[in-house]
Amino acid sequence: MFPRPGRDIGFPIAGCALLFAVFLAGGLIYESFQGRAAERLVTVMLIDAIIVLGIQIYVGNTGVLSFGHIGFGAIAGYAFAVFAISPEEKLKRIPDAPFGLNDVLLNPALAVAVAIGVTVVVALVVGIGLARSGAESGAVAATVITLALLFVTHEVARNWPDLTGGNRAGLTFKVGAALDSRLPIYLCLLGALILARLFAQSRSGKLAVAAREDNLAARAMGVNPLVQQTAALLISVVVVSVGSSLRVYENGSILPDDFFFNYTLLTLAMLIVGGRNSVTGALVGVAVMTVGRELARRLGQDGFEVFGLSLDAGPLDWIFRENLQTVFLGLAMLGFMIFRSDGLLGDWELDAWLWRRWRRRIPEDQPEPLAEVAPVGLHAEVDREGAALEVHDLAVDFGGFRALDGAGLTVAPDEVVGLIGPNGAGKTTLVNVITGIVEPSAGWFKLGERELTGAPSHDIARAGLLRTFQNLRLFGALTVRQNVELAARVAVQHRPGSHPPVDALIAEAGLWDVRDRRARELDYGSARRLELARAAAMAPAYLLLDEPTSGMSDAESAEMIGRIRHMAAAVDAGVLVIDHDLNFITGISDRIYVLDQGQVISAGTPDEVQADPAVRAAYLGAESDAEG
């Protein structure tokens, strides 16, 4: 099922080749007009592009802002320089180099490999801290750590002259020994482009994007963001290392300030101006900012004479000064963040656009509906008798408030069980506990023989408990189809057995006509149905539906009952549905539990529960009060 060779591999590679050709052609044409003066500008632009693409792999796919990638660049740059500079040159700058590094000399390709190795090791350590604090305190904490990394590499580079040549001397290649051909740059840029695009289309990239769009929802469907973010970090650091080595080689030297604040600002500005969520955007950003900066530099130097106008620039002298380009970068960053934070292109990709145009010529038929009872049960291999969902005696305290107080219930594999109770009864808390979002202070729950109490969300989802959310958590920037496909990707890896076909699920949810629409553009009812389809795509053992009809009209609710029952039967899942609407719950459930103040006060068939005086007192009483 995945990857689809055309969409996920062929088109991206072809698209990257096309992008590369256009980008390079632009540079070469400019060069042919401006002569040798422009040669270095174009070379620098090509190298900047490699580094920006490297940053894009992490920042774009994970949504975590990193200032540290230039710090990684510094580590790679110094490692490259130390290994690629000849011992005679090193003797002049760093005669006391530690670890016998003075006598080492590798050819440049090998030195790049060493640089990658060293940087990846550092990235692995930093990455664990990043992912852990990011998961705990949000992306902001991760960003501060990257910022600290940038400062520390700079600080170490300045204060360890035995290794780095210190703040003034730095490390220098022998004159004339620097990079003299552009071929390696071309190859690396093309490679970086393809790697960035393929990663974005890969399973890991897609899952990272899911966590970017909604971390909690991603975890609740079996994605472990820690793993995906670390994967993205390592790949991005490899690309940044290559780019940084080339930058040092091309410069012929390295100083601490080469990889510090100004370069961070430049590369980040390039990334966000073009559009951080798109590889095409990153490249466009590099081009736009290179042109803009060059213009600002020349305006700063020569005023309007750049354009051959003999305007008296005197009155405007206060603008056209030496450091205009730094102001330009800062303002560009600020302006885009305030007015167009997704950059010029948003998440538009050349190859995806070409793919859509290509596919439009082939009509897609509405898929066959899901069979009511799958011909071969999806979980036929599972012992159905022993696969009940058992929740026993759960307690949860929020400060002094006891949200759950010994609640328990059981759902059998082919049952639809309703959980009902007034607002604040603890219904959502119960679902939060059995999906690993809230930790219980007492009690346990297990699926079949497997105890899941205290397991992380993604493990619980992989075990087969899939939920929807009361307040809708879709991956808004992704299309309807991509939302469902994501779940299917996780299912293929973590849920053994056969899987419901993605297209059929989309059709089943009544979303076939809007399958290429972004999830955030859907109306309320469609969004609810998409969440259901997404959960069903995981081939769950149980669907946990948190108020699946809230905000719907009575007619829509009635229709939803049929849909839920049918879809659950088709993917062979039990259902636990919670709501405060008595009509809906009695309409959909085989059995009902009634929750009040954190305790189960009644259980039984819909008729039994409705007749129970305790329920009337607690639940219907509360409701008639509210209405009265």
Partner 1 sequence: MTELAQNLIDGLGRGSIYALLALGVAVVFGVMHLLNFAHGELITVGGYVALWTLGAGWSWYIVTPLIVLSAVLTSLAIERVAFSRVRGSSDFTLLLTSFGVHFVISAIFLLYVSASVKPFDRPSWVTNTYSVGPLNIEVYDTVVILVTVLTLIGTTLLLQRTMFGLSLRAAAADFDTARLMGVRSDTVIRGAFALSGLLAGIAGVFWLMRAGSISPGAGITPMLKGVLAALIGGLGSLRGAVIGGLALGLAEVLLRSRLPDSIASLTEGVVFLLIALLFIFRPQGLVTVKHAVRV
Q: What is the spatial distance between Cα 419 and Cα 545, in angstroms, rounded to a whole number?
A: 10
How far is CA 607 from each of CA 530, 549, 580, 593, rounded to the nearest angstrom? 31, 22, 17, 12
Q: Is 110 in the site for partner 1 (CB under 8 A)?
A: no
Cβ distance to partner 1 smaller for residue 28 or 331: 331
Which position among 211, 240, 324, 404 is part of the footprint of partner 1 (CB under 8 A)? Answer: 324
Return d(Cα 192, Cα 357) in angstroms, integer: 25
Instruction: Return the residue of 147, 169, 295, 412 that touches partner 1, per CB under 8 A.
Output: 147
CA distance 540 to 551: 25
As a whole number of angstroms, the distance between CA 150 and CA 206 comes to 28
Stretch near partner 1 under the rule CB under 8 A, chosen from 147-155, 194-202, 382-390, 410-418: 147-155
Q: Determine the interface stretch with partner 1 among 102-110, 194-202, 468-476, 480-488 (rule: CB under 8 A).
A: 468-476
Using the rule CB under 8 A, which residue among 21, 22, 152, 316 binds partner 1? 152
Kindly state the smallest distance separating residue 467's Cβ from partner 1, in Å. Answer: 9
Minimum distance from residue 461 beta carbon to partner 1 (Å): 14
572, with CB counted inside 10 A (0-12, 13-18, 19+), is buried
Q: 252: which 2 tokens?
A: 């012929």
| Residues 229/208, Cβ–Cβ less than 8 Å | yes
Question: The tokens of 535 are what?
Answer: 């959960």
Judged by CB under 8 A, the number of residues near partner 1 is: 58
Question: Cβ-count burial of 310 within 10 angstroms (0-12 exposed, 13-18 middle, 19+ buried)?
Answer: exposed
Nearer to partner 1, 133 or 610 (CB): 133
Contacting range for partner 1; rule: CB under 8 A; set: 3-11, 327-335, 525-533, 616-624:
327-335
The contact mask relative to partner 1 for 365-404 (x = CB under 8 A, - = no) is: ---------------------------------x------
Decide: helix, strand or coil at residue 544: strand
Nearer residue to partner 1 within complex by CB, 274 or 606: 274
Region class of 115: left (phi > 0), else alpha (psi between -120 and 50), else beta: alpha
Cα-based torsion angle of the residue sequence 207, 212, 217, 218 in order, rounded to the nearest 10 degrees: 20
How many Å is the maximal CA-CA distance in the chain? 94
Per-position x/- string for 547-576, each x denoting binding to partner 1 as judged by CB under 8 A, each - no binding: ------------------------------
Nearer to partner 1, 334 or 371 (CB): 334
CB of 436 to partner 1, least distance (A): 11
- Is residue 246 within 8 A of residue 179, CB to CB? The reply is yes
Q: Of 318, 361, 375, 381, which lies in the binding site for partner 1, with binding defined by CB under 8 A?
A: 318
Among 268, 282, 396, 564, binds partner 1 (CB under 8 A): 268
β-bridge partners, 172 = 253
Can residue 301 be called a binding residue for partner 1 (CB under 8 A)?
no
Single residue of 28, 29, 334, 376 touching partner 1 by CB under 8 A? 334
Could you give the CA distance from residue 312 to residue 111 in angstroms, rounded to a whole number?
52
397/459 with CB nearer partner 1: 397
Indicate the burial class of 168 (C-beta count within 10 angstroms; 0-12, 13-18, 19 or more). Answer: exposed
Strand partners, 396: 404
Q: Which is nearer to partner 1, 470 or 550 (CB)?
A: 470
Q: Minimum CB separation from partner 1 for residue 173, in Å? A: 26
| Residues 58 to 97 in contact with partner 1, rule: CB under 8 A | 63, 65, 67
Among 144, 316, 373, 617, binds partner 1 (CB under 8 A): 144
Q: Give the helix ranges, DSSP H, for 303-413.
A: 324-339, 350-360
Q: Report if residue 520 touches partner 1, rule: CB under 8 A.
A: no
Token pair in block for residue 318 = 């206060």
Exactly one of 186, 261, 307, 353 binds partner 1 (CB under 8 A); that residue is 261
Q: What is the three-state SS of 224-286?
A: CHHHHHHHHHHHHHHHHHHHHHHHHHHHCEECHHHHCHHHHHHHHHHHHHHCCCCHHHHHHHH
167 forms part of the interface with partner 1 (CB under 8 A): no
Tell me if 1 contacts partner 1 by CB under 8 A.
Answer: no
Q: Is 299 exposed, middle or buried (0-12, 13-18, 19+ CB in 10 A)?
A: buried
Specify the residue, 65 or 609, whose C-beta has the smaller distance to partner 1.
65
C-beta of 326: minimal distance to partner 1 in Å?
Answer: 4
Residue 341 interacts with partner 1 (CB under 8 A): yes or no: yes
Identified binder of partner 1 from the candidate list 94, 270, 282, 438, rule CB under 8 A: 438
326 contributes a contact to partner 1 by CB under 8 A: yes
Identify which range of 125-133, 374-382, 520-528, 574-582 contacts partner 1 by CB under 8 A.
125-133
Question: What are the tokens at 99?
Answer: 């670890």
By CB under 8 A, is residue 155 in contact with partner 1? Answer: yes
Q: Is the backbone peptide bond immediately before 3 cis, with ω within 30 degrees of 0?
A: yes
Per rule CB under 8 A, is residue 159 in the interface with partner 1?
A: yes
- For partner 1, the binding residues (CB under 8 A) are 63, 65, 67, 125-126, 128-129, 132-133, 135-141, 143-145, 147-149, 151-152, 155-156, 159-160, 216, 261, 265, 268, 272, 318, 321-324, 326-327, 329-331, 333-334, 337-338, 341, 398, 428, 432, 437-438, 469-471, 473, 546
